[in-house]
Amino acid sequence: MPAKSKSTKNKKSSPKPDAEKDVPSIINTPDQHGFVMAGMQTLFLCHLPMFSMENHCYQVILQASLPDYAMQKYVSDRKSHPNEVYILGDVETDLMTLPQIKTGEVTSFIGDLFRGMPEDHNKDTPLIHNIRVKIERVVYFRHFDFNVDYPHSLTYVLFGAGTEAHLHHVLTKEPDFNHVLDLAEIPSWLPPQQLAAGVHINFPSLPNHPPYCSNPLTKSSYQVQYQGQAPLYPIKLGTSYWFDPSGANATDPCPKPKS
């Protein structure tokens, strides 16, 4: 090994810069997660995402099940309030990460069920408290990639089971909106296996130029593309019970006018 030169022999080495000091962590920590509930025959849970928080920077759809007593109460209450949103979230004593669900490490959790969006999950009174929620399978799981641009036209995940079908708007990056709604009937052109698996449908008549500050799907029926392909297929829309143009964004793109 060569000897050091006199010019550097007694020179103190400067501390190395901490390259990771200011880099945001990609570690997901156990947290509370909210889900919009869809379906009364087969239950689906649509995660409420947040672009600016790593723990919640995911679009996720789960198929789940509740104990009989809880499912019966939920279905009965929903029939009486068909236009309300129902929210399910894990309690603060049973925290989890979304990757744990994807890998199968978490297959169930204890949750609270609310009619309407709670202002404070841990203080508001739920419709049903401390339910064991069983995760049957992951229908859709995607961490947001801000390198991906918005689709050319509005794009939704179409999913469901049996006689029920639902749509969840495909979120891309800030600004964007969250939207969950039912179809009036299952599409006859989509095989049951693909409906269960979840597919993308595109609305070629509606350009995707966020932000949308109100529900963009104002008609009762549309012609849509399957996975961006050329043929058009009909769908009939049902109840739209969750449209939120602000919750996923760090900055509200649709500020309310000052009174």
- In the structure encoding, which two tokens stand for residue 75, read together? 């279905």
- What are residue 151's DSSP bridge partners? none
Whole-number CA gyration radius for the chain? 23
Q: Which residue has the tokens 């309300």?
A: 84
For residue 255, the tally of other CB atoms under 10 A from its CB is: 9
**Distance between CA atoms of 223 and 233, rounded to whole angstroms?**
5
Displacement of CA 238 from its chain's centroid (Å): 20
For residue 141, the tally of other CB atoms under 10 A from its CB is: 15
**Distance between CA atoms of 154 and 138, rounded to whole angstroms?**
23
Residue ranges for the chain with pLDDT beneath 70: 1-21, 258-259
State the pLDDT at residue 209: 81
State the pLDDT at residue 24: 77
Contact (CB, 8 A) for 247 and 50: yes
Q: Which of 219, 168, 204 is nearest to 58 (CA)?
A: 168
Do the bridges between strand 221-226 and strand 164-169 make them parallel or antiparallel, or are there none, so unpaired?
unpaired
Q: Which are the contacts of 34, defined by CB distance < 8 A and separation ≥ 6? A: 47, 48, 87, 88, 89, 121
State the pLDDT at residue 10: 43
128-182: per-residue pLDDT in tens? 999 999 999 999 999 999 999 999 999 999 999 999 999 999 999 999 999 999 9
**Distance between CA atoms of 183 and 246, rounded to whole angstroms?**
24
Residue 88: strand, helix, or coil: strand
Residue 46: strand, helix, or coil: strand
Cα–Cα distances in angstroms (integers) from residue 126 to residues 61, 118, 131, in the given order: 22, 8, 11
Q: Can you point out the beta strands (E) in 91-152?
A: 108-115, 128-143
User: Model pTM?
Assistant: 0.90
**Distance between CA atoms of 151 and 227, rounded to whole angstroms?**
11
For residue 133, the tally of other CB atoms under 10 A from its CB is: 24
- In the structure encoding, which two tokens stand for residue 132, read together? 């064991």
Q: Quick check: bond before 175 cis, omega within 30? A: yes
For residue 7, the tally of other CB atoms under 10 A from its CB is: 7
Q: Which of 217, 236, 62, 49 is nearest to 139 (CA)?
A: 62
